Structures are given as structure tokens and as C-alpha cells.
């Protein structure tokens, strides 16, 4: 079992930045692909970014490419999402997911993940 806890959300003005953290416990994340998803009210959970087990491959949703950066520190059992140039449409609850796989794959479907955190709210004001 892996427990994931997200932190770092909050209220920020458009154009601002936030860094989200996802800290794992129970097992090392060094054999897990990790991803960030978000869910706005009345919408489905959508893919934001993912990184493979050692962080040398990342993928992004088109809507955040060039603004968001996913990174990981396996020694600290933590994954980060640096969010710059935030827009009001980035407002959502952000979730961290873990997928047990040690390949070059960066899963983009929410159904592909084995574990989830409880989420952290990000609100971007205009």
C-alpha cells in the first residue's frame, strides 16, 4: 500500500505560481510512475502531467505545456508540480496518483493509476 498526501495548494492571482508536493509513505515510489490530475466542479478528472519511475521522461497535457513542470525526488519519496503563469481555468482540486511500473511509460489515464491522494485545492483569481 502507498499513501499519498498532496500539499501546496491555495489561492493565487492569475499569472502567479504555486508548487504542489505529493509525499508518499508505506513504500518507496522509486518503482512507480507518478502523475498529477485535476478535477474542477462538474467535470471529470483530467490528466495534467506524469513522470516515469526515475524522472527521465515526462509528459504534459497540452493545456499546461510550457507552464507546468513535474519533477520527483525518489530519495525524499516526493513528487512536485511547479505551476507558473496560472490562469483562472487552472482552478481545480489537484490529485497525485501512483502507478506501479518501472518502464519509460508515463500513464495519462486516471484509470491506470493504483493509488491516489486526497487532493489539494488550487484557486486562481482573475
pLDDT in tens, 81-123: 999 999 999 999 999 999 999 889 999 999 999 999 999 999 9
Mean pLDDT computed over every residue of the chain: 97
| pLDDT at 11 (0 to 100) | 98
Which residue, among 37, 59, 1, has the nearest Cα to 110 in the 3D structure?
Answer: 37
Task: Report, as an integer, the average pLDDT of 64-79.
Answer: 98
> CA-to-CA distance for 117 and 47, rounded, in angstroms?
15
| pLDDT at 73 (0 to 100) | 97
> Which residue bears the cell 497540452?
62
CB 96 within 8 A of CB 6: yes
| pLDDT at 108 (0 to 100) | 96
CB 45 within 8 A of CB 95: yes
| pLDDT at 8 (0 to 100) | 98
Considering the chain, what percentage of its residues have pLDDT values greater than 70? Answer: 100
| pLDDT at 40 (0 to 100) | 96
Amino acid at each position: 500500500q502507498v499513501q499519498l498526501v498532496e500539499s501546496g495548494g491555495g489561492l493565487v492571482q492569475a499569472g502567479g505560481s504555486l508548487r504542489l508536493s505529493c509525499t508518499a509513505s508505506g513504500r518507496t515510489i522509486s518503482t512507480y510512475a507518478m502523475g498529477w490530475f485535476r478535477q474542477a466542479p462538474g467535470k471529470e478528472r483530467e490528466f495534467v502531467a506524469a513522470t516515469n519511475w526515475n524522472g527521465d521522461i515526462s509528459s504534459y497535457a497540452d493545456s499546461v505545456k510550457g507552464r507546468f513542470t513535474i519533477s520527483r525526488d525518489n530519495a525524499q519519496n516526493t513528487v512536485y508540480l511547479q505551476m507558473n503563469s496560472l490562469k483562472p481555468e487552472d482552478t481545480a482540486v489537484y490529485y497525485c496518483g501512483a502507478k506501479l511500473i518501472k518502464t519509460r511509460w508515463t500513464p495519462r489515464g486516471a484509470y491506470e493509476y493504483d493509488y491516489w491522494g486526497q487532493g489539494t485545492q488550487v484557486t486562481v483569481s482573475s
